[in-house]
């Protein structure tokens, strides 16, 4: 069997957000019968175990003592981190009776793309645009591949597309690991990092919602700009030509975002701030992190705190 007909049955939905697989794997000892009598004793086979499904007890693979299962629920934890920031409709496929497994989420939407971007930033990785279609997770329970997480352009719908995505991840995975004890710590760090980024992003998205619900007057832009960017009060009559040009650019960005965000609100104002900082940063400033964690980032935080107050 290459693909189940209804892959969504693999997931159970709880509390409208929390997802989990309907089955997992379990490592069981292998026994053999001593003698031909029906009531003969059984003896354990050393260094051999059966890796079985928890729902139907079918054996997926024979593994050694050192083999460490990578449980389905671990991918579910990552899926939930993305669902909590607005991702939707995870696509799950199993192949060869569950021996091979994939989970995908579309890398689209403000929250999803922001979380992906944060993960890439933490990894100090730059991914080509053609690889931003899907957040893809792949694992095997038959020792044919490691567990992998990354971005792929291909959507997995059959065994062939699964193999294409697997090839892509083998070359470009953000995270991967073998089914061995020393990779358990690595997975714990990955899970904690993604979960922490998701929680931080949830707080940020809540702040953005608050800004959307607060009105703003365009005539306050001059005073706000000076306090945010220059930390000073200045009358428009005393503004230099350079400052006036900066205000004009800020107002133009503000007008653009009011159309995108539904009117005069503080969310549009904050977007105008980030637009000016990110688009006006020089190549050298970007390389030095000016707009990510330097002075430009401090200006963004100052603007956010002002607009939330």
The strand pairing partners of 14, in sequence order, are 18
Token pair, residue 170, equals 């083998």
Residue 42: burial class (beta carbons within 10 Å; 0-12, 13-18, 19+) = exposed
Indicate if 137 and 14 belong to the same structural domain.
yes
Indicate if 159 and 18 belong to the same structural domain.
yes
Query: Would you give per-residue pLDDT tens digits along the chain (309 residues)?
Result: 344 434 444 554 444 557 889 999 999 999 988 877 777 788 899 999 999 999 999 999 999 999 999 999 999 999 999 999 999 999 999 999 999 999 999 998 889 988 998 888 777 776 555 456 899 999 999 999 999 999 999 999 999 999 999 999 999 899 999 999 999 999 999 999 999 999 999 998 999 999 999 999 999 998 898 888 876 666 666 667 777 788 888 899 999 999 988 889 999 999 998 888 877 766 666 566 655 556 777 888 888 999 998
In a domain, 43, yes or no: no
Element (H, E) at 105: strand 100-106
In a domain, 53, yes or no: no
Indicate if 15 and 125 belong to the same structural domain.
yes
| pTM score above 0.85 | no
Tell me how far CA of residue 182 lies from CA of 170, 178, 300, in angstroms. 20, 9, 41
Tell me how far CA of residue 129 lies from CA of 140, 152, 153, 197, in angstroms. 27, 10, 9, 22
Using an 8 Å Cβ cutoff, are 147 and 70 in contact? yes
Indicate if 258 and 125 belong to the same structural domain.
no
Indicate if 155 and 87 belong to the same structural domain.
yes
- The answer for residues whose C-beta is within 8 angstroms of residue 288's C-beta and 6 or more apart is 294
CA distance 200 to 73: 22
Last residue of one domain, picked from the residues 176, 199, 222: 199
Indicate if 219 and 265 belong to the same structural domain.
yes
In a domain, 97, yes or no: yes
* Residue-number span of the structural domain to which 170 is assigned: 7-23+69-199
Last residue of one domain, picked from the residues 146, 177, 199: 199
């Amino acid at each position: 069997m290459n693909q189940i007909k209804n892959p969504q049955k693999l997931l159970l939905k709880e509390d409208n957000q929390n997802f989990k697989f309907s089955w997992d794997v379990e490592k069981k000892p292998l026994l053999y019968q001593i003698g031909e009598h029906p009531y003969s004793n059984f003896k354990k086979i050393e260094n051999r175990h059966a890796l079985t499904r928890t729902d139907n007890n079918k054996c997926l693979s024979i593994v050694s003592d050192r083999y460490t299962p990578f449980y389905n629920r671990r991918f579910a934890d990552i899926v939930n981190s993305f669902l909590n920031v607005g991702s939707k409709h995870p696509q799950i496929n199993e192949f060869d009776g569950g021996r091979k497994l994939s989970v995908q989420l579309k890398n689209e939407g403000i929250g999803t793309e922001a979380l992906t971007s944060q993960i890439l930033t933490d990894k100090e990785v730059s991914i080509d645009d053609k690889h931003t279609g899907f957040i893809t997770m792949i694992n095997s329970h038959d020792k044919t591949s490691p567990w992998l997480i990354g971005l792929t352009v291909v959507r997995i719908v059959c065994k062939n597309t699964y193999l294409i995505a697997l090839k892509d991840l083998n070359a470009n995975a953000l995270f991967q690991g073998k089914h061995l004890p020393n990779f358990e710590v690595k997975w714990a760090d990955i899970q904690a990092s993604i979960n922490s980024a998701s929680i931080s992003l949830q707080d940020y998205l809540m702040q953005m919602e608050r800004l959307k619900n607060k009105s703003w007057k365009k005539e306050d832009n001059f005073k706000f700009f000076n306090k945010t960017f220059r930390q000073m009060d200045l009358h428009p009559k005393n503004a230099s030509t350079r400052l006036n040009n900066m205000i004009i650019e800020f107002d133009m960005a503000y007008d653009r975002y009011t159309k995108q965000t539904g009117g005069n609100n503080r969310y549009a104002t904050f977007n105008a701030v980030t637009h000016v900082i990110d688009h006006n940063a020089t190549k050298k400033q970007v390389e030095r992190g000016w707009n990510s964690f330097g002075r430009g980032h401090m200006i963004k935080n100052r603007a956010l705190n002002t607009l939330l107050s």
